[in-house]
Amino acid sequence: MIQSKLWAARAAELRPDGRAFIEGRRVAAIDGLTFDRQSPIDGRPLGAVARGQAADIDAAVQSARRAFEGRRWAGMPPASRKKVLHRFSELILAARDELALLETLDMGKPIQYALEEDVAATASCIAWYAEALDKVYGEIAPTADDALALIAREPMGVIGAVVPWNYPMVMAAWKLGPALAAGNSVVLKPSEKSPLTAMRLAELAMEAGLPPGVFNVVPGFGHEAGEALALHMDVDAIGFTGSTRVGRLMLAYAGQSNLKRVYNELGGKSAVLVFDDHKDLERAARTVAGSMFYNQGESCNAPSRVLVQADIAEDFVQLLAAEARSFAPGDPLDPETELGALVDEQQLRTVLGYLAAGREAGARCVTGGEQARQDSGGYYVQPTIFDGVTNSMKIAREEIFGPVMSVLRFQSEEEAIALANDTPYGLQASVWSHDLNRAHRVSRALRAGTVHVNQYDEDDITVPFGGYKQSGNGRDKSLHAFEKYTELKTTWISLD
């Protein structure tokens, strides 16, 4: 209770600066437009945010281009760039309370997760790419003796980064880390639903020594600032994380403009396959429920489809329900809260619509299924489990982005694989089995970018993240992320 009051007091004193960040300083939108942010926790006003338009995007891109062509950053020795990025990481940690509060107030996640995980993961990502930047070597091709072919990775130029509202800092870091480490300049467009930490990160980067123009932030709406960034003729690549619907638009915008590269990390409808030979169903239920209801279910990789072998399904559903009930929605500023608020009223209405659709389709609501904390003025939904779901139901096929889990039953291994793969998405999956042969067979058969075995969502910056099919292309994290933000150049030298 004392800690909760302390966080509430700090939140009351916070005065977020919603202006954009271009050429190393805070600036208002060129035409003076703003939009208001209210906290999903209780509707409290968070202040006005610059509503970036095409002119603001153009100013940011021009700033980034000048910085790149002037070699302000790309021309610095790798050891010097490493020091700046390490300092950036340290400053993020030093500002952890402020950043965590901004994140919690802006999008409703519990303060304990914003503080202990999101801020920490953001700083760690920047530090990891700082260390990696001078470990990416060129190559010499195996040509004939009369030629020398050198293969180098060079920075691409100006990178547009468009990130979602569910993990604003972490998703930004996944783009910023490799893009900046490679020597690019970046224009970041945060979601209009959670823009506040992005501009603060840019200020910290400048304080760390990043030259003006290398990292610019333009807040605004997707159909205005986001579209302008994706259509801009002087942006060399777009790194986008968000919905599959907008991912399609990003590809279209690239075709309409300069054929810029587009790397999409999109939606998911991840399947968990629980077989009857698994020896610890309590652990499986605890892990799956914890992953599903973490961040209010607002995660692209949330395990929202749970496929259970029929002869253990009744027991497993009861275990899941017991775990779900422990995630009672609470005040995100209370350090004990594990399930916070949905990001805004629109998302609340979307999730409630899916709850109604599940009932109308004949699925059985085992637990939850209702709006919560209505007297708070915020947007909360009970953790919900539907049983008796078929793969043709809307709740089994569409990404909900809320605390809603669907349970489907299967008889055989072949049926489980077919059900798991019967989706337009392919981000993650999980296999729960203590039959080693089965675990290998099923993992190999699943069409997903990451397949977990007897765990879910364990994570490390060294491991690539991304999906198959309509879950996107390219990979965030790991050394593979450099592939998105660099060009391969061959220099062929005749030795005659």
Of 300, 323, 338, 399, which one is the catalytic site residue?
Answer: 300
265 is catalytic: yes
Max distance between CA atoms of the chain, in angstroms, equals: 82
List C-alpha distances in Å: 169 to 104, 121, 314. Answer: 11, 9, 40
Structure token digits, residue 75: 């021309």
238: three-class secondary structure by DSSP: strand
Q: If residue 263 lies in a helix (H) or strand (E), which one and from where to where? A: strand 261-265
400-411 as b/e: b if 16+ CB within 10 A:
bbbbbbbbbbbe
Cα 460 from Cα 478, distance rounded (Å): 9
Cα 407 from Cα 281, distance rounded (Å): 15
| Encoded amino acid at 145, one letter | D
- Which among 318, 316, 320, 308 has a CA at the least distance from the CA of 413? 308
Output the CA torsion sign for 246, 251, 252, 254: positive
- Which among 68, 60, 173 has a CA at the least distance from the CA of 465? 173
- Which among 460, 369, 108, 417 has a CA at the least distance from the CA of 271? 417
- Whether 223 and 189 have beta carbons less than 8 Å apart is answered as no
- Which among 323, 333, 263 has a CA at the least distance from the CA of 292? 323
**Cα–chain center distance at 108:** 15
Of 203, 227, 265, 338, which one is the catalytic site residue?
Answer: 265
Cα 161 from Cα 190, distance rounded (Å): 8
Cα 119 from Cα 123, distance rounded (Å): 6
- Which among 204, 210, 170, 206 has a CA at the least distance from the CA of 190? 170
Structure token digits, residue 436: 């080693």
Start-to-end C-alpha separation, the chain: 79
365 is catalytic: no
- Which among 283, 327, 274, 277 has a CA at the least distance from the CA of 303? 274
Cα 379 from Cα 345, distance rounded (Å): 6
- Which among 241, 237, 236, 192 has a CA at the least distance from the CA of 217? 192
Cα 488 from Cα 220, distance rounded (Å): 33
Catalytic residues: 265, 300
